[in-house]
Structure 1
């Protein structure tokens, strides 16, 4: 980090002169040392080892050039270097290069910034990844060296962000001011980069520096607008650009759990190997029956009879007939299918053993294809299944006919799992064009060509599918049609597992209250006064138990336990409203969740959430800051799923379709009575 504020008389280029001549000193840059120090402090916070040359240690031109060159040449190829310089810049006439001026006021060949870039590029893979942040006039000339005739590729090791265009000036340390602000946002996590990404995207940071600089005018409203510039990038490469200069603080926090980081890597490998619509996180988290499953033991409990029957189907021990798994939202459809997919897929099986190992799960099979249909088109789902079952056919045609033919031609009838059929973009078309034909397709010997398992809600528009399954001799498993005593036992055991997995209720002091809480939840959720339940007991039990275990103050006496039992919710809206009424929950949680009820595809990024949330907020709240949105997302984490878009930015969506429906109907605050009525 270099900030030169005072300059001795030296050699300056004078217009119309044939060579540099001695002249008066360069004018001072009184804030240069201060802003160089601030940039240094932010980079230190991000984990860099910083050398600051400013004030009394401000270098001469020769020393500055030597320090930059020495750093580039001495560090290793796996290191990352940032060179930040605030000084005057000098561009000789007719030369496509610029020089950084030293404290001695001189221009030295060692400070030819074009040569700095060339030193890194010419060294190839032996050089460190290096970013030059150049805050001086004409510095943009270093971004377009004449000797490099093509746009830079992602493998390039020298990158430049310059304060000004090649033929323009820089003013008032404005570029460095913008860099400090943006680095502060990086450190605070304001870019919302997904925790799986080790760095904040370079293009996002550089664009943000440009935007901040465009809005800076200092104390002088007549100050010219600077035009920062950067190393040109091949547009075909930009989407894959993954540069290591700006560490993602959320990744650093996630990496404290090495086992979780390992899980993410294996699941990412699985997703690349198979297809992104398989959505391994969906199946893993549903199978685990807990929020943020990671590498922790799964808490799925009960449904053993159903699991054994479905496992026999997957293992080939039962007849190859189609199955429908149906029931109200949150009754456990996806959890059942999650166990099957996690245990049966050869790659996912070992990475998720913790979530299914205590259950009667199927064996691994190479004859498995699975898709999570939420917000997916018929064509996308068809292509996903083809990619998994017959990659050679997927490259030629992704039609339903091609899939049916590929399924019929396989030597072994594959297991095909389609979860959340009702949440597809056009679920009725998906059922008609693809799923119903899959129930009918036969092998040459007349036997069923696949073992089809479909998870869906019991909607009327799926009646043709139910009839097709019945004609094929299949099974419709309605998880709502379970005896109340059996369901109560399953819920009780599940809530006990969730609570005992928490710190307090797993301790010698807290475990005394587990049974009473679990009994109360089971009794509330198995009342028989609702002939057609709208909300599945397991979803409500999961959310409430996690809420009790990880958010509410610990229950420490009988009176406190009785108060808790009196407010056990009977519906998903009641759980949500209970959370929203907590005094420590910020005012933006509900507007943010209401905005996410309108998310499509993989989800909505925080920038869009911030723009939409005010539509659902009281007028006196104004507009949320980035930190307001981040806090709301943290407050509502139990209700969210987080993933990454192609740029690495975190995107969010509500974790269950029933939440989407409720927040569509009730985007603003409702009374406790109104929330209770939503369950009926």
Structure 2
């Protein structure tokens, strides 16, 4: 950002002491909360201004003058908290000597507009610098509307400027802006590398109970860089991502500084968070990784048996930082530690095209820009160094057959290139359809240098997983836990994970007199279990179904929330009309196990976690 890398100045103006109005006792607490929230986006603030004694009008104007005349120009935020007043047509903000009524002795929108214009005249020469003015006070809606009117009425109005008003009647308004800002920041994930001013203001406005937002041309405004918790993009079910993130936030700053720089992140889906079993399968992959030369190791099997979880666990075992983090968070014990930093490239292939994969492989190998697959293969030959790749979900790519024969088979023809690849044996495999599946993808990958490991059902591991989740949740006695373990041990991991979520959402099902109802629930297939979840969610959140249906419409890696894309699609599918950002917050939190987060172009995207769930809304 202009004038300071990824940071911006935050001026906090909190007027808590008055000669003719009631004092505001928790002003400093509110100001510090706002400062901490903006810090997540790069905001830098000094001590809240003014000191405890209330400021005079001249002192306020001097502080605003200082803000409006920076050297050099920079991005900035002004936050004003205090008393205000409106008569419906005009509004004023109170300073120490402001009387009752405030007309004539309070700070007017016109006076603030003069400072904003002065600030713009210095900032205009910088192509991307932006400013934001936040007012939280009684009558803030009217104050900000009048301020915008003064600015827009000029021959050349300020640009890249956000004006936000938050406030209702009485002193109960204080804190509503910080509540809205906190909820807005929670709506981003660690896949959001940066945030546009337009998107930030749009999400804020949607969450303000009383207030307004005006954005005066955000074109070319510098993006705000988020302070991330995880070190890199994550591709994972939303509930596991949130659980892992909560654990990381519970660490001290020193612990995060020590472990996270060593961790590769979670490009593979399961994050190994609740991984159990598969010791022999893990050993085979690790033994293969310790070899040399070129080759392809394919992990395949029907949907829901835990292919992604196994590969995610192998990734963790090759990553000392993630391994140590999981050991602190859970009872995780390494099974067969893979060679440290075993992979040069890790990716989920969901929604990717051949060109996307080639670009990522070229970047990860350090060969730079290449001309298609031929260019990549030639560059890797010339590079002459080992190159190991872990990739998952080939069957969910946009061009799975072309990737199988045209990329992966050719890549492992290069000396030193070794690929571990996760996939179903064929495209379009349904976890709820019994019987053998085709092998159209697997056939394209077979060769003398290919090893195939087919995962089957693992009742012991499923039972251990179910027991662990229920015991950790503390919602059932040992008899109920034993009953659920026995009921689910014959199912795949995917079904068991979703069934556990439904049980934890309705723990009353574990009561003895509800056992028959629970048995009927656990006797269903994946699609019916999802339908049950939709019915449950609709009782709590009437907009759950159109929001999840919007995710079923997603193409590629998913649908973003940025610029209201998700809310717009959901609203188009809803008979109720408008869908707000807060509605999406509620639905995503409640439906987290059924939703996958991913990253595309530095932005979080969302999709339903399984093709079966998409088919609920879009039957073939």
Bucket of the pairwise TM-score, normalised by the shorter protein = 0.5 to 0.7
SS at match of 1:363: coil
1:258 paired residue number? 249
Q: Could you report, residue by residue, the CA deviation over 1:234-277 in whole angstroms, capped at 9, with x for unpaired residues?
A: x3x71356699xxxxx99x9778634797988998579xx8xxx
Aligned equivalents of 1:489 and 1:227: distance in 2? 58
SS at match of 2:266: helix
2:552 paired residue number? 597
- 1:493 Cα offset (Å): 2.0
1:178 paired residue number? 165
Q: Is the 8 A contact 2:57 2:96 kept in 1?
A: yes
- 1:372 Cα offset (Å): 0.9
Aligned equivalents of 1:65 and 1:209: distance in 2? 27
Aligned equivalents of 1:142 and 1:212: distance in 2? 30
For CA contacts below 8 A with separation 6 or more, give which structure has more relative contact order: 2
1:672 paired residue number? none
Q: Is the 8 A contact 1:498 1:546 kept in 2?
A: no
2:287 paired residue number? 312
Residues 405 and 72 (structure 1), Cα distance of their counterparts in 2 relative to 1, 3 Å cut: same
> Please, which of 302, 309, 327 is the counterpart of residue 335 of structure 1?
309
In the alignment of these two chains, the number of paired residues is 519
SS at match of 1:581: helix
TM-score (norm 1): 0.62
Q: Is the 8 A contact 1:323 1:475 kept in 2?
A: yes
TM-score (norm 2): 0.67
Q: Is the 8 A contact 1:588 1:628 kept in 2?
A: yes
2:607 paired residue number? 653
> Please, which of 265, 270, 280 is the counterpart of residue 286 of structure 1?
270
Q: Could you report, residue by residue, the CA deviation over 1:159-192 in whole angstroms, capped at 9, with x for unpaired residues?
A: 668633286499xxxx988344893772462576
1:62 paired residue number? 58
1:299 paired residue number? 274
Output aligned runs, 1:460-499, within 5 Å: 466-467=442-443, 469-480=445-456, 487-499=458-470
Most deviating of 567-576 and 261-270: 261-270
2:351 paired residue number? 375
SS at match of 2:345: strand
Residues 139 and 600 (structure 1), Cα distance of their counterparts in 2 relative to 1, 3 Å cut: farther
1:610 paired residue number? 567
Q: Is the 8 A contact 2:197 2:224 kept in 1?
A: no
Q: Is the 8 A contact 1:373 1:423 kept in 2?
A: yes
Residues 654 and 320 (structure 1), Cα distance of their counterparts in 2 relative to 1, 3 Å cut: same
Output aligned runs, 1:525-544, within 5 Å: 525=491, 537-544=492-499
SS at match of 1:331: coil
- 1:308 Cα offset (Å): 1.5
Output aligned runs, 1:317-466, within 5 Å: 321-345=295-319, 348-352=322-326, 357-366=333-342, 368-388=344-364, 390-391=365-366, 393=367, 395-397=368-370, 399-408=372-381, 413-439=386-412, 441-443=413-415, 449-459=416-426, 466=442
1:193 paired residue number? 187
Residues 265 and 464 (structure 1), Cα distance of their counterparts in 2 relative to 1, 3 Å cut: farther
Aligned equivalents of 2:85 and 2:378: distance in 1? 69
Aligned equivalents of 1:270 and 1:602: distance in 2? 27
Query: Which structure 2 residue ranges, 5 or more long, are not aligned?
Result: 1-12, 36-46, 70-75, 87-93, 100-106, 135-146, 169-175, 229-240, 429-437
Q: Could you report, residue by residue, the CA deviation over 1:383-426 in whole angstroms, capped at 9, with x for unpaired residues?
A: 222222x31x1x24253234334544566644322211111122
Output aligned runs, 1:496-575, within 5 Å: 496-505=467-476, 510-523=477-490, 525=491, 537-548=492-503, 550-553=504-507, 557-575=511-529
Q: Is the 8 A contact 2:68 2:118 kept in 1?
A: no
- 1:589 Cα offset (Å): 1.7
1:92 paired residue number? none
Q: Is the 8 A contact 1:591 1:616 kept in 2?
A: yes
SS at match of 2:507: coil
Q: Is the 8 A contact 1:337 1:455 kept in 2?
A: yes
- 1:312 Cα offset (Å): 0.8
Q: Is the 8 A contact 1:139 1:166 kept in 2?
A: no
Residues 204 and 490 (structure 1), Cα distance of their counterparts in 2 relative to 1, 3 Å cut: closer
Q: Is the 8 A contact 1:368 1:414 kept in 2?
A: yes
SS at match of 2:180: helix
Q: Is the 8 A contact 1:315 1:365 kept in 2?
A: no
Q: Is the 8 A contact 1:345 1:365 kept in 2?
A: yes
Matched, 1:632 2:587: yes
SS at match of 1:286: coil
SS at match of 1:513: helix
- 1:498 Cα offset (Å): 2.1
Q: Is the 8 A contact 1:343 1:352 kept in 2?
A: no
Q: Is the 8 A contact 1:344 1:362 kept in 2?
A: yes
- 1:346 Cα offset (Å): 5.9
Aligned equivalents of 2:193 and 2:404: distance in 1? 40
Residues 84 and 153 (structure 1), Cα distance of their counterparts in 2 relative to 1, 3 Å cut: farther
- 1:202 Cα offset (Å): 4.7
Q: Is the 8 A contact 1:513 1:555 kept in 2?
A: no
Aligned equivalents of 1:600 and 1:359: distance in 2? 37
> Please, which of 70, 79, 83 is the counterpart of residue 82 of structure 1?
79
Aligned equivalents of 2:506 and 2:580: distance in 1? 27
- 1:370 Cα offset (Å): 2.1
- 1:540 Cα offset (Å): 0.4
SS at match of 1:665: coil
Matched, 1:165 2:151: yes
Greater strand share, structure number: 2
Aligned equivalents of 2:506 and 2:298: distance in 1? 38
Residues 385 and 349 (structure 1), Cα distance of their counterparts in 2 relative to 1, 3 Å cut: farther
Residues 102 and 460 (structure 1), Cα distance of their counterparts in 2 relative to 1, 3 Å cut: closer
- 1:568 Cα offset (Å): 0.7
Whose radius of gyration is greater, 1 or 2? Answer: 1
